[in-house]
Structure 1
Amino acid sequence: MPPEVPHCRPLVTPLVQFSPPQNLPIDYKYCRGRKRMNITIKKLLPVLVLILSSFSIIRFLFITFTTSSSSTRLPTFSTIFQHIPSHEPGGSSTNHPKASANAITEKEFQLLSNLVAQKSPCNLLIFGLEPKYLHLSQINAGGTTIFLEDDISKLSTIKANSNSTRAYKVEYQMPGKEAYKLLKHVRQNPACEPSSGPLQASKCRLTLTNLPQEVYQQKWDVIVVDGPSGDAPEAAGRMATIYTASIIARAGNTTYVAIHDVHRMIEKWFSWELLCDENLISSKGKLWIFRIKGQLNSTTFCSARPVVIE
């Protein structure tokens, strides 16, 4: 029968020799660390069991709490934002219609408002009624501001004042899909020249002859073209408003004409053709501002034609 071997680490020759204490059994000499380790583990075992049990209880309580909480539906982003009012300068947030995707930006509006502030008090004519434009009439305190708008719902947002601010309902008949033909018509028809005579009696197809009389009679300092919407081929385009603005501007001494949405083909082409690149003085984003000097006796709009259309 083989001899019993103590359950301890095999003897390894140490790098430095020590003399073991005398009169001690061999298994006590080399296995006393194991006995102490066994004693330590036995003492720690109940503590470990208690910690694991506590962790299990805490985890169970956490799962129960989160499950019951998730049963209550939280509000979505859309629900929260429905109760946040929008604010526009110079007016009540509850009365403004929803801004369109092509609405003037803050930087564009800052450029335009700076122009009006420099000229105020002045005569300000605006084709289109966006919420921010109501603030322009406040900047132009002491002057005259007239809005021309084809959307009746937008006209309800403004309170007319016979002394300074007025708004008129107008009609536009020319769809955007006819822009190409109308641009050729302007070039080929002498009735569309700046020297062709009063707008009310004009034979040019692009002339707006149904505007309020004071629009034709007044000398305008600033004209803004941001209407009609012109956002679809079938919708009314801005060919007539840009043409009419260019003729009205040439009837004054010096008139500043601002055209919005010049990233679109119609606004860009008709601005180049009727207001001229040589008159462009500033721009920001989709807004161009032209300075037009009075020249009703001229037979042409620009010194050079920018685009050739056959």
Structure 2
Amino acid sequence: MKPATKFILLHKHSAAAAIIPTTTISAATTHNHRLYLFTFLALLSFAATFSLFTLPYTTTTTPTAVTTTTNHRLPNPIFETLIHYATLTQNTTNPSRLTPPELTAVAAVLRRCPTPCNFLVFGLTHETLLWHSLNLNGRTTFVVESAYEILKLEEKHPWIEAYDVTYTTKVKNSNQLIRYAKTELRNECRPVQNLLFSECKLAINDLPNFVYNDVVWDVILIDGPRGYFPNAPGRLSAIFTAGVLARSKKDGSRDTHVFVHEMDREVERVGSGEFLCSENLVEKVGLLGHFVIGKNGGGGGGFCREAVAEVSSVRL
């Protein structure tokens, strides 16, 4: 048997064939970088999406004049300018408007008021925008007898906080209402109570809950509702409500300043004597009475320390 013939085949080795083209290396490197970038972005996107479901849900809202308060007073130059222009022209057409001295008396208390100041105003008047501006960094709330008035106000000045109430009193019934309040002095018409649950005929109890429970009112101005004719609601309810709010506040360290306008009228004069009390009257400027009432102010379970004469009555 012939042995198998073996052949050795030699190939010439090419150096060029052993060299990997640089373009191939660059392409591979670029591909890897893109892969890494894609992976990083995918992880980042996943983390962001995951956080939407795991973090507490929060929203950002634009603060409004109703709830935004700061501990900064209105700068003195601005305050003085507002008062200057508000008192520049003497009122000769509307006798129910505050006179410059009366307006200045209220403004002086607002200026000294702790910040943020809580200001409750009964009635919409010529001075409504001024009161809101002077107490810009506090809370100013208006109580109005007409929902239509509020709608008109909100169309032009949506930042004003106002609430309408339904008054059940009439000027012509003031004497009966005062006698009724005296008989209920230790019951429904007591000076310290939560008016939200009051059944007293003089109590305003249909305002939002915060008015009675959450806010300590530093200043109260009674310049409404209407009270110049027998069937008008009169201000007896507003005066009674102010007297109770001032005495029932949770913060006993702060007095409440209560202003009553048009004290020349019988309802305002007699009602203030019964529920705000002469011993709390600190000044009278024109037709404006200024009372300062502390927490639980009064004596013997009544509104006043000094007994009010039984003959107090409204001459109609």
TM-score normalised by the chain length of structure 1: 0.64
Q: Deviations over 1:167-222 (max 9, x none)?
A: 11222121100100011111111221114x32111121111111122211211000
CA distance in 2, matches of 1:130, 1:294: 29
> Residue in 1 aligned with 2:205?
209
> Max radius of gyration: which structure?
1
Query: What secondary structure is seen at the aligned counterpart in 1 of 2:153?
Result: coil
Contact 1:273–1:305 (CA under 8 A) maintained in structure 2: no
CA distance 1:279–1:296, shift in 2 (3 Å):
closer
What SS class does the counterpart of residue 290 from structure 1 fall into? strand
Deviation at 1:89, TM superposition (A): 5.5
Unaligned runs of 5+ in 1: 1-87, 91-98
Question: Which residue of 240, 243, 255 corresponds with 1:246?
Answer: 243
Partner of residue 118, structure 1: 112
8 Å Cα contact 2:167/2:233 also seen in 1: yes
Alignment partner of 1:230 is 2:227: yes
Q: What is the Cα deviation at residue 285 of structure 1?
A: 0.5
SS at match of 1:192: coil
Indicate the SS of the match to 2:259: strand
| 1:137-185 deviation digits (Å, cap 9, x = unpaired) | 1111210000111134543235243xxx411122212110010001111
2:297 and 2:304 in contact (8 A); partners too:
no
Q: Which AA in structure 2 matches 1:240?
A: S
| Cα pair distance change 1:110/1:251, threshold 3 Å | same
| 1:184 aligned partner | 179
Q: Is the 8 A contact 2:279 2:306 kept in 1?
A: no
- Identity, in percent, stands at 31
Q: CA–CA distance in 2 between the matches of 1:154 and 1:111?
A: 27
* Distance in 1 between residues matched to 2:94 and 2:163, nearest whole Å: 21
What pairs with 1:214-293 in structure 2 (closer than 5 Å)?
214-217=210-213, 218-252=215-249, 253=252, 254-293=255-294
Paired residues of 1:160 and 1:167 also in contact (CA < 8 A):
no
- Among 100, 124, 135, the alignment partner of 1:106 is 100
| Separation of aligned partners in 1, 2:298 and 2:102 | 33
How much does 1:289 deviate? 0.8
Match of 1:137 among 129, 132, 140: 132
Aligned amino acid, residue 121 of structure 1: P
Shift of 1:283: 1.5
In the alignment of these two chains, the number of paired residues is 212
| Whole-angstrom CA distance in 2 between matches of 1:282 and 1:297 | 19
Output the CA distance in 1 between the equivalents of 2:285 and 2:298: 31
**AA of the residue aligned to 1:279:** N
Distance in 2 separating the partners of 1:178 and 1:100: 27
Provide the rounded CA distance (Å) in 1 between the counterparts of 2:85 and 2:162.
Answer: 19
Q: 2:122·2:225 contact (CA, 8 Å) conserved in 1? A: yes
CA pair 185-238 structure 1, distance change in 2 beyond 3 A: same
Three-state SS of the structure 2 residue aligned to 1:204 is coil
CA distance in 1, matches of 2:124, 2:85: 14
1:68 counterpart residue number: none
* Alpha-carbon separation, structure 1, partners of 2:191 and 2:223: 22
In 1, the alpha carbon distance for the partners of 2:140 and 2:257 equals 14
Q: Which runs of 5+ in 2 are unaligned?
A: 1-83, 87-92
- Helix, strand or coil for the counterpart of 1:289? strand
Give distance in 1, aligned partners of 2:134 and 2:140: 10
Matched AA of 2:95:
A
Runs of 4+ more than 4 Å apart = none
Among 190, 194, 209, the alignment partner of 2:191 is 194
Contact 2:236–2:271 (CA under 8 A) maintained in structure 1: yes
Distance 1:211-1:105 versus aligned 2 partners, 3 A rule: same
Match in the other structure for 2:76: none
Q: Counterparts of 2:141 and 2:262 in 1: how far apart (Å)?
A: 21
| CA–CA separation in structure 1 for the residues paired with 2:304 and 2:116 | 30
Distance 1:193 1:138, change over 3 A: same
**1:150 and 2:151 matched:** no
Q: CA RMSD in A?
A: 2.3
Residues of 1 paired with 2:148 and 2:311: CA distance? 38
Output the CA distance in 2 between the equivalents of 1:297 and 1:102: 31
